[in-house]
Structure 1
Amino acid sequence: MMAFHMIAGGPRPVAPFSHAVEAEGFVFVTGQMPDTPEAPGVLPEGIEAQTRAVMANLRTVLNGLELDLEHVVMARIYLTRFKQDYAAMNAVWSSFFPAGRLPARTCVGVTGLAYDALIEIDLVASRPG
């Protein structure tokens, strides 16, 4: 059985999708952008601020499903300026997880993202049970 979730007060979708889809104990969270529900399409400056904003949006979706970052098992990170932003993004990313408890991850460089964002991140979480 699958459940399709839209989180009240969550980030405004930039395309037709659910914030998350749940199937067989896993929660697949759609890639989030670095804008806020209060200011869709308005992005903070720089990779550090954009990474924090994306993480805040991901937490909003997870929290709306009674989950948090400790439930994340896999992440995919997309960067438009890979060489320039990779190290700084990693420093911010690492601050959200305890040492020794980092999710599996893929990080790739891409040619463009919605709103001309520098970063987008999607997640897979595991529901405890």
Structure 2
Amino acid sequence: MKNYICVILTTLCCLVGSFTAQAGNQPVYYPSSGNVPFSKAVKVGDTLYLSGLIGAGKAGLPKEFNAQITQLMDNLQSTLASFDLTTDAVFKCTVMIDDMDRWPDFNNIYIKYFKADRLPARSAFGADGLAMGAIAELECMAYMPGAQ
């Protein structure tokens, strides 16, 4: 069932991106650093689609939940900053978490990274087997107006 939901979400994102691209905006791909088979982000029109982020830092993936989620959110801020954006630009997030019982703990950290009046639309689902054994993965869309 979880894989089925992932396929639906991925298909929906592709359809939205395809519709925007057909409206005359060509995608701009921003390569990831490191040897991974995906882009860090893709911009179509005024929308920046960020690839899923996990809580890995320079020292690797912390084992402790709060440390890993804090690093995940720091990674989001860092990625946005590389595009001269802040979390104010984020309008949609999808959260994949390996233990939905930790959802309140996730929210306690997540909420600190957004202004109360600028919370993104969000969906979440429990997931088993995230990349590198991560506790959670976060993918976001951000508004990034201007020239490509």
TM-score of the aligned structures, taking structure 1 as reference length: 0.86
Q: RMSD in angstroms over aligned alpha carbons?
A: 1.6
Percent sequence identity is 28
Q: Does 1:97 align with 2:111?
A: no
Map residues 96-115 of structure 1 onto 2, 5 A cutoff: 96-115=113-132
Q: Does 1:44 align with 2:62?
A: yes
CA distance in 2 between counterparts of 1:109 and 1:22 reads: 27
CA distance in 2 between counterparts of 1:107 and 1:46 reads: 21
Map residues 7-86 of structure 1 onto 2, 5 A cutoff: 12=34, 15-36=36-57, 38-39=58-59, 42-83=60-101, 85-86=102-103
- What do residues 71-116 of structure 1 show as CA deviations (whole Å, max 9, x unaligned)? 0000001100112x10000010011111121000011101110111
Deviation at 1:66, TM superposition (A): 1.3
Alignment: residue pair count? 121
CA contact (8 A) 1:20 1:61 kept: no
Deviation at 1:51, TM superposition (A): 1.2
Deviation at 1:64, TM superposition (A): 1.0
**Structure with greater strand share of residues:** 1
TM-score of the aligned structures, taking structure 2 as reference length: 0.75
CA distance in 2 between counterparts of 1:128 and 1:52 reads: 28
CA contact (8 A) 1:77 1:120 kept: yes
Unmatched runs of 5 consecutive residues or more in structure 2: 1-25
Aligned to 1:6: 31
CA distance in 2 between counterparts of 1:77 and 1:46 reads: 18
After the TM superposition, which segments of 4 or more aligned residues of structure 1 sit over 2 Å from their partners?
none
Deviation at 1:45, TM superposition (A): 2.8
Unmatched runs of 5 consecutive residues or more in structure 1: none
Computing the radius of gyration from Cα coordinates, the structure with the larger value is: 2
CA distance in 1 between counterparts of 2:123 and 2:72 reads: 16
- What do residues 37-70 of structure 1 show as CA deviations (whole Å, max 9, x unaligned)? x33xx21132221111111112222111111111
Deviation at 1:4, TM superposition (A): 0.5
**Structure with greater helix share of residues:** 2
